[in-house]
């Protein structure tokens, strides 16, 4: 089923600038949708990767604190 949509002249002009030759508005819009979906997927992957790296750093810091947690091994000079 084909439908008609209304666009502001500015939007049409932008879409015209994005068209290659005889490319349809539909193919331009589909390309934009695919690009948007890829960007969202990439952002999600980057966010997950960043969280993993932060988690690893937090584990390192926790292990460092655990190593000094036993204060009986510390020597105090009394000052």
What residue segments make up the domains of the chain, in order of their start?
A: 42-67
Q: Which two tokens stand for residue 3?
A: 């439908």
Q: Which two tokens stand for residue 55?
A: 């988690």
Using CA atoms, how far residue 42 sits from 32, 37, 56, 67, in Å, is 15, 9, 21, 38
- Main-chain phi, psi angles of 17, to 5 degrees: -70, -20
pTM across the whole model:
0.64
Q: Which two tokens stand for residue 50?
A: 């960043």
Give the model confidence (pLDDT) of 9-57 as tens digits.
Answer: 999 999 999 999 999 999 999 999 999 999 999 999 999 999 999 999 9
Higher pLDDT, 77 or 53: 53
């Amino acid at each position: 089923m084909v439908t008609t949509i209304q666009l502001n002249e500015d939007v049409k002009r932008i879409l015209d600038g994005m068209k290659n030759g005889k490319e349809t508005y539909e193919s331009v819009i589909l390309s934009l949708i695919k690009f948007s979906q890829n960007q969202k997927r990439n952002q999600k992957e980057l966010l997950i990767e960043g969280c993993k790296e932060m988690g690893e750093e937090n584990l390192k810091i926790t292990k460092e604190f655990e190593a000094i947690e036993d204060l009986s091994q510390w020597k105090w000079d009394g000052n």
